[in-house]
């Protein structure tokens, strides 16, 4: 494929929509993951007592819930991306791909 | 740090000699009595994996088969293989041991190893699959001058691979003494030979299936252990934690603490302890883990084994799920060991430590919940785990040498597939011999820093190069090579000047670089250097680099023109 052909696809409104929506979504998700993890690390560095505090009457601490929460968050964010990519991004890129073959 | 905190820290270190860094087996290990059950089970694993290798060898003809299993692995299979590649023996035994001694701190460590996976998915996986063929350098040099970028990528890949490999080989030697009661050198040779056979004859197909088998066995054993522990507490984690706190309190009281101090000590396992000493080290280490995962060559290579971007995505979801699940299990296993192992005199030596050392917590727990046969099984799985990791590392090192250095830099792209394969196979042999020699040389050394160094190099060299070449039009060949090299050199140099090497290994009184991980300096430095050098790059090559961005970008985003999976 020559430059003109790549430029034609790059100017296609579907391509522009695909790239813009996906970019916003992925950077948003990256930001959430980064904030959650660095927030967790900084919480440990600056307020260990908060994480060590038990929930209710038992021994299970706030920190265990938060830690398990970060693990689940990583899996959930990954799942959210995979779902939206399959529903929304794949049809767009598939349309662009099949036209470029034609 | 206040004086009181320093005293508390010193007391903590004296009372509980925790594994310094859980992902490399730290500390002395003492050879145990020969365990024939474990050896027999490991032999069965070796026979099974060699049969897989034989089957894979018949399907490995071209370079594409050798490096990427012909692109015919499904997302689910690849997800399991990634998990098998990533969950090391040290993370199973080391993290459960850290939880056994310190409780909560082990969880902090394992979370760091998980959070890089979403980042790989959001920023890398699909674009990698759309642009690349074998090693990640295919992506980085899509629009750049081939020889300099390939040269940098090969050197940084080999740096990561060698440090990671040494840590694994030394870990194997320590483990065989503990688990099988055999000599250190046997382990290094067994691992070296088996890994060579897998990679040499079975290439990526055999490596993938060894990793899948290992992942299934490891996840299965860990699931059984966690369920067996929870079953004793009516499947209530709260009841398990409460009992663990009581056990730790009793142990502290028995060690001579007054009741108040003993209760504090018991409760300490439910919150963060001494693992994070200063915020800068913590954030630096966190950055290395999070972004290093997205720059590990043997992990990135796995994305070329699937047929398309969609399957690459699925692989990451499965991998993240399995790895996250594994770390949750490890947490339960560590607490299970507190309750079932620390209270059982037959697992303890006269001084009150674990028979065989701190890393044996999960192994003794296997005996406590499943008797001798299960102990043998878990020991065999733990040792087999190392094979899956080193096979992936070796394959990625071989592809860097044959595809980047030989085919592109030396032969300028004129090498045919057969010649490239020949060079790959020779490289595998050289790497295996090197791994065996280094494994023996480093036997008595503390290699705990090597895995974190590998992550730091990946985060400071590979990751900035990949990210900016994927996302920034203005990025040029010169910028990538200068910035990537700077990141690599800083990561290695600052690690040498850090406490883990400068003080612990070289014996100097104080570290020149005070933080435990270099990433907080080396990663931003690499980004900055790539940006600045590219910005002021007025060479003719820079114009070509920038002009090539459009095609690269459209292909990365849509997959138009991407190499598909082979038909078989």
**CA distance linking residue B339 with residue B240, whole number of Å:** 8
Nearest CA in chain A to B279: A45
Q: Which of A34, A44, A54 sits opposite B276 (nearest CB)?
A: A44
Instruction: Please tell me the total count of domains within chain B.
Output: 1
Q: Is residue B58 one of the residues assigned to a domain?
A: yes
B5 in contact with A at a CB cutoff of 8 Å?
no
pLDDT of residue B7: 35
Handedness of CA B301, B302, B304, B309 (dihedral sign): negative
The stretch B407-416 carries a mean pLDDT of 84
Instruction: Please tell me the total count of domains within chain A.
Output: 1
- For residue B495, is pLDDT > 50? yes
The stretch A57-83 carries a mean pLDDT of 96
Nearest CA in chain B to A97: B560
B556 in contact with A at a CB cutoff of 8 Å?
no
Q: Could you give the residue ranges of the DSSP H alpha helices within B294-360? A: 297-300, 309-340
Q: Do B558 and A15 touch (CB under 8 A)?
A: yes
- The interface predicted TM-score of the complex, written ipTM, equals 0.95
pLDDT of residue B25: 60
Residue range(s) defining the domain that contains residue A61 = 3-101
pLDDT digits (tens, 9 = 90+) for B72-93: 899 999 999 999 999 988 788 8
**CA distance linking residue B144 with residue A2, whole number of Å:** 18
A4 in contact with B at a CB cutoff of 8 Å?
no
Confidence band for A102, pLDDT divided at 50, 70 and 90 = low
B126 contacts in chain A (CB < 8 Å): 85
Q: Is residue B206 one of the residues assigned to a domain?
A: yes
Q: Is residue B88 one of the residues assigned to a domain?
A: yes
Q: Specify the range with the lowest mean pLDDT, choosing from B70-84, B183-197, B425-439, B554-568.
A: B554-568
Q: Is residue B41 one of the residues assigned to a domain?
A: yes
- For residue B11, is pLDDT > 50? no
pLDDT of residue B179: 87
By CB atoms closer than 10 A (0-12, 13-18, 19+), residue B33 is exposed
Q: Helix B184-197 crosses helix B361-399 at what angle (to 10 degrees)?
A: 40
pLDDT digits (tens, 9 = 90+) for B315-355: 999 999 999 999 999 999 999 999 999 999 999 988 878 88
State which of A83-92, B58-67, B139-148 shows the largest mean pLDDT: A83-92
pLDDT of residue B104: 94
Confidence band for B564, pLDDT divided at 50, 70 and 90 = low
**pTM for the whole thing?**
0.91
The stretch B360-386 carries a mean pLDDT of 92
B317 contacts in chain A (CB < 8 Å): 75, 78-79, 82
The stretch B49-55 carries a mean pLDDT of 95
- For residue A11, is pLDDT > 50? yes
Residue range(s) defining the domain that contains residue B276 = 34-558
pLDDT digits (tens, 9 = 90+) for B115-148: 999 999 999 999 999 998 888 888 888 899 999 9
Q: Specify the range with the lowest mean pLDDT, choosing from A38-42, B10-14, B188-192, B527-531.
A: B10-14
The CA-atom distances, in angstroms, between B559 and each of A25, A90, B552 are 19, 10, 10
- For residue B267, is pLDDT > 70? yes
Confidence band for B13, pLDDT divided at 50, 70 and 90 = very low
pLDDT digits (tens, 9 = 90+) for B434-476: 999 999 999 887 777 888 899 999 999 999 999 999 999 999 9
pLDDT of residue B8: 36
The CA-atom distances, in angstroms, between A60 and each of B3, B240, B247, B333 are 30, 10, 15, 16
Q: Is B74 left (phi over 0), alpha (psi -120 to 50) or beta?
A: beta
- For residue B377, is pLDDT > 80? yes
Q: Is residue B481 one of the residues assigned to a domain?
A: yes
B272 CA: distance to closest CA in chain A (Å): 6
Exposure class string for B199-238: b at 16+ Cβ within 10 A, else e: bbbbbbbbbbbbbbbbbebbbebbebbbebbbeebeeebb
CA atoms within 13 A on the CB side of B401: 21
Q: Is residue B15 one of the residues assigned to a domain?
A: no
| CATH code: domain of residue B199 | 1.20.1730.10
**CA distance linking residue B243 with residue B338, whole number of Å:** 9
- For residue B28, is pLDDT > 70? no
Percent with pLDDT over 90 in chain B:
68
Q: Do B286 and A48 touch (CB under 8 A)?
A: no
Per-window interface: A 18-77 vs B, CB < 8 A: 18-19, 22, 26-27, 29-30, 33-34, 36-38, 40-42, 44-46, 48-49, 51-54, 58-61, 63-64, 67-68, 70-72, 74-75, 77
pLDDT of residue B359: 84
Q: Do A41 and B245 touch (CB under 8 A)?
A: no
Interface test with A, best of B238, B339, B558 (most A CBs within 10 A): B558
DSSP string, chain A: --HHHHHHHHH-HHHHHHHHHHHHHHHHHHHHHHHHHHHHHHHHHH-HHHHHSBSTTSS-BHHHHHHHHHHHHHHHHHHHHHHHIIIIIHHHHHHHHHHHH-
**What's the mean pLDDT when you consider all of chain A?**
92
pLDDT of residue A101: 67
The stretch B33-51 carries a mean pLDDT of 92
Q: Do B559 and A70 touch (CB under 8 A)?
A: no
The stretch B60-64 carries a mean pLDDT of 87
- Indicate the DSSP class of residue B229: H
- For residue B223, is pLDDT > 50? yes
B104 contacts in chain A (CB < 8 Å): 51-52, 61, 63-64, 67
**CA distance linking residue A48 with residue A26, whole number of Å:** 32
Q: Is residue B553 one of the residues assigned to a domain?
A: yes
A59 CA: distance to closest CA in chain B (Å): 6
Q: Which of B115, B547, B560 sits opposite A37 (nearest CB)?
A: B115
Confidence band for B204, pLDDT divided at 50, 70 and 90 = very high
């Amino acid at each position: 494929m020559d430059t003109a052909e790549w430029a034609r696809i790059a100017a296609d409104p579907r391509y522009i929509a695909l790239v813009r929506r996906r970019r916003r979504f992925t950077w948003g998700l990256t930001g959430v993951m980064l904030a959650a993890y660095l927030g967790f690390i900084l919480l440990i560095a600056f307020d260990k007592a908060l994480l060590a505090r038990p929930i209710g009457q038992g021994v299970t601490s706030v920190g265990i819930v938060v830690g398990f929460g970060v693990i689940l968050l990583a899996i959930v964010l990954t799942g959210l991306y995979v779902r939206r990519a399959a529903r929304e991004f794949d049809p767009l890129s598939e349309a662009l791909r099949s036209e470029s073959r034609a | 740090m206040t004086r009181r905190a320093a005293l508390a820290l010193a007391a903590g270190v004296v009372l509980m000699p925790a594994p310094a860094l859980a992902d490399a087996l730290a500390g002395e290990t003492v050879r145990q009595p020969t365990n024939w059950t474990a050896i027999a089970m490991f032999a069965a694993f070796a026979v099974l994996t060699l049969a897989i290798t034989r089957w894979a060898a018949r399907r490995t003809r071209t370079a594409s088969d050798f490096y990427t299993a012909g692109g015919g692995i499904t997302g689910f299979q690849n997800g399991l293989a990634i998990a098998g590649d990533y969950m090391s023996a040290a993370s199973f035994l080391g993290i459960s041991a850290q939880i056994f001694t310190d409780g909560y701190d082990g969880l902090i460590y394992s979370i760091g190893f998980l959070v890089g996976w979403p980042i790989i998915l959001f920023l890398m996986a699909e674009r990698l699959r759309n642009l690349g063929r074998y090693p990640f350098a295919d992506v980085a040099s899509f629009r750049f001058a081939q020889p300099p970028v390939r040269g940098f990528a090969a050197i940084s890949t080999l740096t990561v691979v060698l440090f990671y490999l040494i840590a694994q080989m030394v870990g194997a030697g320590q483990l065989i003494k503990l688990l099988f009661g055999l000599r250190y050198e046997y382990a290094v040779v067994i691992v070296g030979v088996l890994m060579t056979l897998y990679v040499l004859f079975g290439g990526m197909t055999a490596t993938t299936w060894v990793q899948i088998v290992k992942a299934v066995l490891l996840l299965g054993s860990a699931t059984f252990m966690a369920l067996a522990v929870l079953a004793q507490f009516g499947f209530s984690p709260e009841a398990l934690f409460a009992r663990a706190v009581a056990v730790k309190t009793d142990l502290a009281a028995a060690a001579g603490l007054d009741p108040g101090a003993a209760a504090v000590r018991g409760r300490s396992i439910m919150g963060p302890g001494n693992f994070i000493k200063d915020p800068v080290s913590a954030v630096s280490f966190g950055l290395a883990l999070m972004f290093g995962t997205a720059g590990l060559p043997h992990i990135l290579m796995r994305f070329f084994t699937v047929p398309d971007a969609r399957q690459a995505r699925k692989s990451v979801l499965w991998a993240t799920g399995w790895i996250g699940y594994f770390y949750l299990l490890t947490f339960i296993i560590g607490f299970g060991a507190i309750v079932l192992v620390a209270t059982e005199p037959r697992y303890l030596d006269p001084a009150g430590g674990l028979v065989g050392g701190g890393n044996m917590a999960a192994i003794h727990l296997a005996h406590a919940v499943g008797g001798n046969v299960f102990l043998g099984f878990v020991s065999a799985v733990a040792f087999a785990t190392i094979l899956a990791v080193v096979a992936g590392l070796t394959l990625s090192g071989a592809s860097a040498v044959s595809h980047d250095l030989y085919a592109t830099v030396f032969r300028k792209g004129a090498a045919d597939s057969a010649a490239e394969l020949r060079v790959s196979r020779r490289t595998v042999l050289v790497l295996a011999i090197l791994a065996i020699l280094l494994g023996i040389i480093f036997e008595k050394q503390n290699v705990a820093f090597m895995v974190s160094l590998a992550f730091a190099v990946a985060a400071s060299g590979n990751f900035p190069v990949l990210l900016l070449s994927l996302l920034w039009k203005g990025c040029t060949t010169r910028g990538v090579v200068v910035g990537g090299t700077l990141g690599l050199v800083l990561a290695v140099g600052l690690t040498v000047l850090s406490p883990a090497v400068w003080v612990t290994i070289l014996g100097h009184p104080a570290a020149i670089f005070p933080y435990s991980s270099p990433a907080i300096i080396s990663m931003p430095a690499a980004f900055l250097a790539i940006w600045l050098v590219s910005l002021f790059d007025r060479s003719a090559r820079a114009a070509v680099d920038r002009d090539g961005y459009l095609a690269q970008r459209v292909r990365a985003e849509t997959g138009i023109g991407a190499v598909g999976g082979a038909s078989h």
